[in-house]
Chain A
Amino acid sequence: MGYQLSREQFDRFLDRLQDDYRVFGPALDSDKGAFSDTDRITYKNIRRLDDLELNRKSYFSPKEIFFPIRETLFRFCEGEPTVPQIDDKKIAILLRPCDSNAIDRLDAIFLENGPFEDFYYKRRRENVRFFLIECATGFDSCWCVSMNANTTKRWDVAFRFGEDEILVDVKSEEFLPYLDDCPQKPFEIRFIYENTKKVRVPEVGEVTLDHFAHELWNEYTARCIACGRCNTSCPTCSCFTVLDAPLGAEKKMGERWRAWAGCHIDGFTDMAGGHTFRQSRGERMRFKTMHKINDYRKRFGKHQCVGCGRCDDVCPQYISFARCINTLSDCIEEGKRK
Chain B
Amino acid sequence: MINPFLPSKMKILDIIPETEIDQTFVLAGRKPVKPGQFFQLSVPGAGEAPVSVSDFEDDKLFVTIRKVGRLTNALFALAPGDYIFARGPYGNGFDYRDYVDSDLKVIAGGTGLAPVKKVIKHFIANKSIASLEVLLGFKTPQDILYRREVRAWVDAGLATLTVDKAGPDWSGNTGLITGYLKNLDLSNLENCKFIVVGPPIMIKFITIELLLLQVPEENIWVSLERKMSCGLGKCGHCKIGETYVCLEGPAFRFARARRLLD
Kindly specify which of A241-249, A305-313, A315-323 makes contact with the partner chain: A241-249
Chain B contacts of A118 at CB under 8 A?
A: 4, 232, 234
User: Chain B: how many interface residues by the 8 Å CB criterion?
Assistant: 41
Task: Tell me if B216 is interfacial: C-beta within 8 Å of chain A.
Answer: no
Q: Given A79-B83, A120-B5, A123-B1, verify A113-B45 contact (CB < 8 Å).
A: no
The contact of B46 among A114, A209, A246, by CB within 8 Å, is A246
A287 to B2 alpha-carbon distance, docked (Å): 32
How distant is B156 from chain A, measured CB to nearest CB, in Å?
32
Chain A binding surface, main DSSP class: mixed
Say if the beta carbon of B27 comes within 8 Å of chain A: no
Within 8 A of B (CB), among A219-242: 238-242
The answer to whether the Cβ of B247 comes within 8 Å of any Cβ in the partner chain is yes
- Specify which chain B residues have a CB less than 8 angstroms from the CB of A167 in the assembled complex: none
Q: Does A266 contact B (CB under 8 A)?
A: no
Q: Which residues, 200 to 239 on B, are CB-close (under 8 Å) to A?
A: 200, 225-227, 229-230, 232-237, 239
- Chain A's nearest CB lies how many Å from the CB of B261? 5
B69's partner among A241, A245, A269, A272 (CB-CB below 8 A) is A272
**A256, A268, A294, A298: residue with the most chain B Cβ atoms closer than 10 Å:** A256
Nearest CB on B from A72, distance (A): 11
Name the contact of A83 in the complex, choosing from B6, B49, B68, B83 (C-beta under 8 A).
B6
Digit string of B36-69 for contact with A (CB within 8 Å is 1, else 0)?
0000001011111100000000000000000011
Chain B contact surface mostly: loop
Q: Which of B9, B227, B236 contacts A240 (CB 8 A)?
A: B236
Q: Is the CB of B5 within 8 A of A73?
A: yes
B45 touches A254 (CB 8 A): yes
Asked if A205 is at the interface (CB within 8 A of a chain B CB), the reply is no
B1 (CB) vs chain A CBs: closest residue: A119
- In the complex, per-residue mask of A242-278: 1 if CB is within 8 Å of any chain B CB, else 0: 1111110001111110100101000011111101011
Give A179 to B5 CA distance when docked, in angstroms.
41
Structural contact, A295 and B42, CB atoms closer than 8 A: no
Query: Is A291 interfacial (CB 8 A cutoff)?
Result: yes
Residues of chain A contacted by B244 (CB below 8 angstroms): 113-114
Is A212 at the interface (CB under 8 A from chain B)? yes
Give A251 Cβ to nearest chain B Cβ, in Å: 6
Nearest CB to that of A122 among chain B residues? B1
How far, in whole Å, are A268 and B230 apart by their CA atoms in the complex? 14
CB of B235 within 8 A of CB of A240, answer yes
Asked, given contacts A114-B233, A242-B229, A273-B68, whether A291 binds B239 with beta carbons under 8 Å apart, the answer is yes
B residues lining the A interface (CB < 8 Å): 1-7, 9, 42, 44-49, 68-69, 72, 83, 85, 199-200, 225-227, 229-230, 232-237, 239, 241-242, 244, 246-247, 261-262
List the 10 closest pairs (A to B, CB-CB), nearest first: A114-B233, A254-B45, A246-B45, A239-B236, A76-B44, A116-B4, A119-B3, A295-B242, A298-B242, A113-B233
